[in-house]
Chains A and B, each alone.
Chain A
């Protein structure tokens, strides 16, 4: 039996979770929220994490009703993510590992999402769509690696949505993507936007520029409402994601899809993916905001899998890295 504590702070969420053999005992989180029209910057986000991390740690311990002696391994997000926030979080993980005399495991953030998704939904070998503010990848497992079949060649899908939310001055509370989703529900008129699929890869930066440039005048002239534009943007970029996921499934002969990452909470994306799955007799697996959005439990769970298969991270390797690809990790637990 392995009890793991996980520290996640690669973007604007600070999460600490405690997991015992796939059972989530605690999963506490704070989100750094910026004013409308502004994104979160590394320095301020790191400061936020430093300010709340000890409080969240205490909360996680209290919720789990465990004492530090009952924890077997400390896990933290090694990357990818923003440097400052990653670093602030890793320092605390390293400190408590030394104080409590526990082994430490550095976890790839993307692997954390995938393993948590597999745990929560109990799917076996899915084609994974990982969509968040910093990542957009279509992934399938083969020969000891989570292999990337398609990915964005520029900005992430969540980044595209967040930045458009800033143009419309939508609130960042609880998240810009959530508010775009609510707006989009009211949208009716579809604006044809560029649709950019290159082989298995997708690109969003051109679509963003296109809509950013035109949005102010389209709204002013009354041709489209902000809701129409949110709707058009979502419909277009989600169609791109569903199409590439379907092609990856066809290629791998897979009949399961798992959506993970913050954008994975979007009900419209889940709906579209569900329709695609239904048409090809496949099954869709998705999780809710507790596990889709960055959290500590996913890092604890993935770290526990690594730890159980004999992996620990040596002290000299307990650094963080902004660049850390999903396919760089040797999967020793499958």
Chain B
């Protein structure tokens, strides 16, 4: 009988779409993400969506790597068991928790600097990602990880299940809009953060950024049944 090399993995987190396990894969500390069947979904549709999302996640992890965007290294894709195995970023924290942690410490001056710094980092990475025509599809502060190594802070992007490749500024603007709304519902100092993110984004993604930011204001105005002003 074939032995499963991921037998010794232990459950770490349970999300809405997948379970995360940690363990050792070929001697490397790894995370295994196993998507589960959604019983409410038609089985054909469920199988199709799960496969598409695993494919998107695996492809984009690699594509991001080659574009110089820090992401966990991909080790294994197993469609049969609906799993991918990737590098475990040890001692990492989601940006969401990182910001909450910052707001709980007392040194408010330093906090503002840290917040500014992490916002710039987010903007820089997203600029890089969009220059490579990668659309994340579900940008939230829970889908970004921070690792701290000897005082230097490093940002990584994760959760690429809804990602795809697209050149148009429309899709990039929607990507930013999703992030803005996610920030609005999670964090209190959003205006400042999102401003810093967009500034850094523009610096990295020079030529096309203007067009995308213009599109962003179109997208913001697009919600249905908005008041007609102006």
Contact = CB atoms under 8 A, between A and B. Distances in A.
A11 to B, nearest CB: 13
A190 B44 contact: yes
A199 B138 contact: yes
Given A148-B223, A198-B137, A323-B225, A239 B41 contact: yes
Interface centre among B40, B137, B138, B162 (most CB of A within 10 A): B40
A2 interface: no
Given A235-B42, A235-B45, A324-B225, A199 B178 contact: yes
Contacts of A324: 225, 227
A323 B44 contact: no
Contacts of B138: 199
Chain A interface size, as a band, is 35 or more
A123 B151 CA distance: 47
Determine chain B's interface SS by DSSP, over half rule.
loop
B16 interface: yes
A149 B185 contact: yes
Interface in B145-194: 162, 174-175, 177-178, 181-182, 185-186
Given A199-B177, A199-B181, A323 B42 contact: no
A14 to B, nearest CB: 21
B45 A280 contact: no
A147 B16 contact: no
A239 B185 contact: no
A267 interface: no
Contact of A192 (B48, B174, B182, B228): B48
Interface of A: 79-80, 135, 142, 147-149, 151-153, 190, 192, 195, 197-201, 235-236, 239, 242-243, 246-247, 250-252, 271-273, 275-276, 279-280, 321-325, 328
25 contacts: A135-B224, A142-B185, A147-B185, A149-B185, A190-B45, A199-B137, A199-B138, A199-B139, A199-B175, A199-B181, A200-B178, A235-B41, A235-B42, A235-B45, A236-B42, A242-B40, A250-B16, A251-B140, A275-B40, A280-B16, A323-B227, A323-B228, A324-B225, A324-B227, A325-B225
